Amino acid sequence: MRIGKALQLAVTLLAAAFLLVPTIQSVLAGVTVNYFQGIRSGLTLDWIAVVWGLYASSIFLSLGIALACLCVTLVIGVPAAYALARNPGRLSRAVEEFISLPLAIPGLALALALLQLYGSYKGFRMSWTFILVGHVLYTLPFMVRSVQSVLAAIDLKTLEEGAATLGAGPARRFVDVVVPNALPGILAGALTVVTLSIGEFNLTWMLHTPFLKTLPVGLADSYASMRLEIASAYTLIFFVMIVPLLLAMQWASARAQQITK
Amino acid sequence: MTLTLRTVAKTYPGGTRALLPTDLDIAEGEIVSLLGPSGCGKTTLLRIIAGLETADAGASIRFKDDDMTHQPVERRKVGMVFQSYALFPNMSVRGNIGYGLKMQGLPRAQIDARVDEVIALCRLEPYAGRAITALSGGQRQRVALARAFAPRPRLLLLDEPLSALDAALRGQLRDELAALLRQFGITAIFVTHDQDEAMAIADRVAVMSQGRVAQIGTPEVLYRAPETAFVARFVGNSMPLGGRIDGDKLHLPGGTLDLGAPSDGKAAFVRAEDVRLAEDGPLTARVTAVTFLGTHYRIALSGATDDTLFCLHQGQSAPKPGQTVRLAIAPQSILTLTPEKAAA
C-alpha cells in the first residue's frame, strides 16, 4: 500500500515536471541576458521592456476585445440562457446545440466562413470588431451553458411566480430574481469568456490584420521574427496575464457547481 | 374582500380537464380551504385565482367589484404562500418581506415601518437580518407568510403551506397558522390534502374531486351531513357497508342492521367511531388485528361486511385477534348516500 502511494506520487511529480520544466525554462529564457550562454550571462528585465515597446498595443487590443466580447456575451448569453431554462423542450435543445456548434467546428473554418461572407466589407474587415465577432461566436456557448446550468438547478419558475404575486412585472423579475440567483454561473461564464478570448489564436490568426494583432498573434509573430529571449519574455507576460484569470475561473466554476449540486 | 368565481374551468392543451366549470363565492374575511386528493384540481383552481394559470374562455373572476379575469398576476394584489415557499435566496428575511412593498413604490421609511410591523406580528424578530438559507423549515414558512401578507394583499392564497414540514412540526404550525390568519383578518384560500388541516384552519371547506367541488360547507356540516359518498369517505374516513338494502333493513354478511327509515337505491356508510362492541349486537365479526393507540383501541374486523370494518373502542381492554365478537351500529349513525360513480 505504501509503495503504491509512493509510486503514485512519483508518477504525478514526474508528469508535473514534464510539463513544468519547459515552462520554467521558457520563463527563465525571458529574463536571461543571453540564452545561449545560459544564466551565467546574468539576469535582466530588458527583454520584457523590449516586448512592451513592441507589443503593448497587442496587449491592450486583446484586453479591449476580451472586455467587449464579455459585454456582448453577457447581453446575448444571459437572456438566451434564461429563455432556454424557462422553456425546456425539443426546440430549446436544438437551439442549444446550434449555439454550441462553433465549439465543434475548427476555428479556421469558422474564420474562413466569416471572411467569405464579410471580407468584402472593407471597413468591417479592417476593424477590431471583425475579430470581436469571431470571439463572440466562439465564447458564447460557454456563457450560455454556464448560466443555464445554474438556472436549471434552482426552481426558477416558482421564484418568478413568487415575485409576480408580489407585484413584479417580467423585467423586474429578471433583474431582481433571475440575475442575482444566476450570478455564480454568470461569473464563471464571464471568466471563461475573458480567458478564452485573450488566449484565442486559431480563429484570430485568420481574422487579424497587420495593424491588429492580439496577444497570441503577437506571440506567434515574435516567435517567428524575434530573438528567442524576446519571444520568451513575451510568454512570461502572457503567463502573468492569463494565470490569475485561470485561477479565478476555477474558483468561480467551483462556486457555481456548489449551487448545481 | 369578496371573491366571486363563475364557470371557471381549465382544460390543458392535451385535452385533460383539470377543472370542470366551477362557481365559488367567498365572503369578506372568510378562510376557505380547498380539500381533496392529488389531481382533484384544487391547486389549479388556486393558481387560476392567483393569475398564475389562465382559465378557459367563459370564466369570470371578480375581486369585490373588479373584474380580474384578464389581469396578469402582478396586478391582482394577491399574496401567495407557495408549497416550496419560493423565498428569494439572494435577499435577507427583511428583503424578502419588504419586496412586495418595494414593488408598490413606497418610500423607504414606510417600507421599513411595515416590515417591522409584520415581523413583530409573525414573531420573526430574531431572524430579521438572516439569510434565507440560515432558516429552519418552520421559520421559512413564517417568512413566506409574512412576505405574502406585508403588501396588504386583497386576498391571501396558500398552496399546501404545511406539507414541506415534518409531521411533528406540522401540527404545531397548523394551530399557529390558523391563529395568524384570524389575526390578519384577511380573506384567505388555502389548498390542502389533509382533512385535519382543513378543519383546523378553515371556516368553510370545499371538498374537491375529479375537477369539481363535491361539497362546500363548514367542517361540522361536511362531517355530519356529507352529500356524496366521496365526501363521506374523504372527510372522516367513512367505510362502506356493502350489502343489500331492503326497505329499512340492511342485510350484511355478518347480520342485518336496522336503518331506521327506508332508503332504497342508496349506499350505506359508517365511521369507525360509530361501530360499537356490544354483546347483544346484531352483527357478528371476527377480530383480525388490534392496535392500541393510547386513548383507544383500533380493531380490525372481518366477516361483518365485504371489506375490513374498523372499530374505535374506548375501554380498559380489547378482544384478542381471532376472537368472535358482536357489533352494534345505531341507525342514526348510518349515512345513506347516493352511490358513487364507478371511477371514484
* pLDDT band with cut points at 50, 70 and 90 for residue B40: very high
Is the predicted pLDDT of residue A181 greater than 70, yes or no?
yes
Considering A204-213, A218-227, B183-192, the range whose residues carry the highest mean pLDDT is: B183-192
Q: Which amino acid is at B205?
A: V
Q: What is the pTM of this model?
A: 0.82
Q: pLDDT band for B344, please (50, 70, 90 cuts).
A: very low
Percent of chain A with pLDDT over 70: 98
pLDDT at B341: 54
CA A158 to chain B, closest CA, distance in angstroms equals 6
Q: What pLDDT is attached to residue A223? A: 84
Name the closest residue on chain A to residue B98, using Cα atoms: A166
Contact A167 B103 (CB under 8 A): yes
Given this model, what pLDDT does residue B258 score? 86
Instruction: Render pLDDT for B85-130 as a digit per residue (tens, 0 to 9).
Output: 999 999 999 999 999 999 999 999 999 999 999 999 988 999 999 9
The partner residue sitting opposite A180, judged by closest CB among B84, B90, B99, is B90
C-alpha cell at A170: 417580467
Q: Which residues of B touch A176 (CB under 8 A)?
A: 88, 99
Bridge partners, B24 (sequence order): B5
To test the contact with chain A by mutation, choose from B103, B114, B158 the residue with the greatest count of A C-beta atoms within 10 A, namely B103
**ipTM of the complex in this document:** 0.84
How many Cα neighbours within 13 Å face the side chain of A211?
5
User: Which residues partner with B250 through β-bridges?
Assistant: B245, B257
Q: Are B289 and B251 in contact (CB under 8 A)?
A: no
Say if CB B161 and CB B177 are below 8 A apart: yes
Q: In chain B, which residue's Cα lies nearest the Cα of A166?
A: B100
Contacts of A169 in chain B (CB under 8 A): 72, 74
Q: Which amino acid is at A99?
A: I
Of A199-203, A225-229, A244-248, B137-141, the one with minimum mean pLDDT is A225-229
CB atoms near residue B267 (< 10 Å): 19
| Residue of A159, A163, A165 with shortest CB distance to B78 | A165
Please tell me the distance from the alpha carbon of residue A188 to that of residue A249, in angstroms, as a whole number.
Answer: 6
Q: pLDDT tens digits for A48-80? A: 888 888 888 898 999 999 999 999 999 999 999
Q: How many CB atoms lie within 10 A of CB A94?
A: 10
Helix locations, chain A, DSSP H: 2-30, 46-86, 90-104, 107-118, 122-126, 128-153, 156-165, 170-173, 179-199, 202-207, 215-225, 228-260
Mean pLDDT to the nearest integer, B248-259: 87
Instruction: Assess A186–B contact: CB distance below 8 Å, yes or no.
Output: no
Q: Do residue A161 and residue B82 have CB atoms under 8 angstroms apart?
A: yes
Instruction: Supply the pLDDT for residue A51.
Output: 86
More reliable by pLDDT, A240 or B72:
B72
B89 to chain A nearest CA, in Å? Answer: 7
Q: Compute the distance between CA of residue A239 and CA of residue A243 in angstroms, rounded to an integer.
A: 6
- Rg of chain B, C-alpha, whole Å: 24
Nearest CA in chain B to A159: B86
Q: Are B289 and B299 a contacting pair, CB within 8 Å?
A: yes
Phi, psi dihedral angles at B112 (to 5 degrees): -60, -45
Instruction: Give one word for A2, left, alpha or beta, with left for phi > 0 and alpha for psi -120 to 50.
Output: alpha
Distance CA A221, CA A78 (A): 36
Q: Indicate yes or no: CB of A177 within 8 angstroms of CB of B74.
A: no
Measure the CA dihedral B257/B263/B265/B268, to 10°: -40
Q: Do B84 and A158 touch (CB under 8 A)?
A: yes
CB-CB contact of A50 with A230 (8 Å): yes
pLDDT band at B74 (very low <50, low <70, confident <90, very high): very high
Distance from CA of B79 to the nearest CA of A (A): 6
Check the CA dihedral B296-B300-B303-B305 and report its sign: positive
pLDDT at residue B236, as a whole number:
83
Whether B199 and B227 have beta carbons less than 8 Å apart is answered as: no
Q: For the ranges A16-30, A138-152, A191-205, B100-114, which has the lowest average pLDDT? A: A16-30
Relative to beta strand B155-159, strand B78-81 is parallel
Domain at A53-260, CATH class: mainly alpha
Number of CB pairs < 8 Å for A and B? Answer: 66
A161, A172, A183 ranked by CB distance to B103: nearest: A172
Mean pLDDT of B283-310: 91
- CA A92 to chain B, closest CA, distance in angstroms equals 19
**Which residue carries 397548523 as its cell?**
B174
- pLDDT band of B59, cuts 50, 70, 90: very high
pLDDT value for B343: 40
Chain A residues with CB under 8 Å of B103 CB are: 166-168, 172
pLDDT, position B329: 92
**Nearest-angstrom CA–CA distance, B284 and B280:** 10
Kindly determine whether residue A162 and residue B52, on different chains, have CB atoms separated by under 8 Å: no
Following DSSP, what letter does each residue of B284-307 receive, concatenated? EEEEEEEEE-SS-EEEEEESSSSS
d(CA A178, CA B280): 71
Q: Mean pLDDT, to the nearest integer, of B128-154? A: 93
Give the residue among B15, B147, B155, B151 at the shortest CA–CA distance from B71.
Answer: B155
Burial environment of residue A35 by CB neighbours within 10 A (0 to 12, 13 to 18, 19 or more):
middle
